[in-house]
Copies of this chain bind each other. A is one copy, B any other.
Amino acid sequence: MTAPDAPVEALRDRRRRETSIEICAAALDLFEAKGVHGTTVDEIAARAGVSPRTFFRLAGTKEDAVFIDDGRFADALSGVADVGDDIRALLSALRGVFARELELLDADAQARERYLRVRRLIAHEPSLLGAAVRREVTSADRFVPELAERIGLVDFDVRTALGIAGLEMRTTLDEWARLHDQGQTRSLVDLHRDVERRLTRAAGA
């Protein structure tokens, strides 16, 4: 299944990613059990089996620990290509990236459960909400100019497209989580299509 010319993932990179996952899981567990404020970095680091120094190198901040990812999604966003300098085409491409992400969630029950846990945690830990918003904005600030430059659109158009795609994504996840709490199961990708359709109609396009 692996492309023959795909470079074998370096041991270092794999270790690094595994360690990040360990830290992330430890942080999630501890934050749930004792709250963010009640948890120290030393505890998270110990549980993840690394030194506090390494914790900070990988996690950045205590709150961010629970949001560590492998950068795959960010890469996918940055990797959007060959859409020409057309905002509609860009929106379509971004939707595809978000849809792909939802597809992965649909296929991975463990990831869905993890998402719900983080979501619950954010709901009653304002410091985590702050961190989540900060992460999102910071990442957009890096991503937008880079992409705008590459495909020849102004920042504003890229932000607009990203705003719409992001709104659809958030709405989809919100609705999905709401249905989930009511005991209903829906495919995220299907829901995403519904949201997209509804939003497109509302926007009069």
Which of B130, B138, B141, B202 is close to A134, meaning CB atoms less than 8 Å apart? B130
B residues near A133, Cβ cutoff 8 Å: 129-130, 133
Proximity string of chain A (106-138) to chain B, C-beta cutoff 8 Å, 1 when within and 0 when not: 000000000000000000001101110110011
B residues near A137, Cβ cutoff 8 Å: 126, 129
B residues near A134, Cβ cutoff 8 Å: 126-127, 129-130
Count this chain's copies in the assembly: 2
Tally A residues with Cβ within 8 Å of B. Answer: 11
Complex-state Cα separation, A129 to B35, whole angstroms: 23
Which residue on chain B has the smallest CB distance to residue A203?
Answer: B202
Complex-state Cα separation, A204 to B137, whole angstroms: 31
Whole-angstrom distance between the Cβ of A202 and the nearest chain B Cβ:
7
B residues near A138, Cβ cutoff 8 Å: 126
B residues near A202, Cβ cutoff 8 Å: 202
Whole-angstrom distance between the Cβ of A126 and the nearest chain B Cβ:
5
Interface set of A (CB-CB < 8 Å, partner B): 126-127, 129-131, 133-134, 137-138, 141, 202
Sample of 14 A–B contacts (CB below 8 Å): A126-B134, A126-B137, A126-B138, A126-B141, A127-B134, A129-B133, A129-B134, A129-B137, A130-B130, A130-B131, A130-B133, A130-B134, A133-B133, A202-B202
Given contacts A126-B141, A133-B133, A202-B202, 11 further A-B contacts (CB under 8 A): A126-B134, A126-B137, A126-B138, A127-B134, A129-B133, A129-B134, A129-B137, A130-B130, A130-B131, A130-B133, A130-B134
Closest 5 CB pairs of A and B: A130-B130, A130-B134, A126-B134, A133-B133, A126-B138
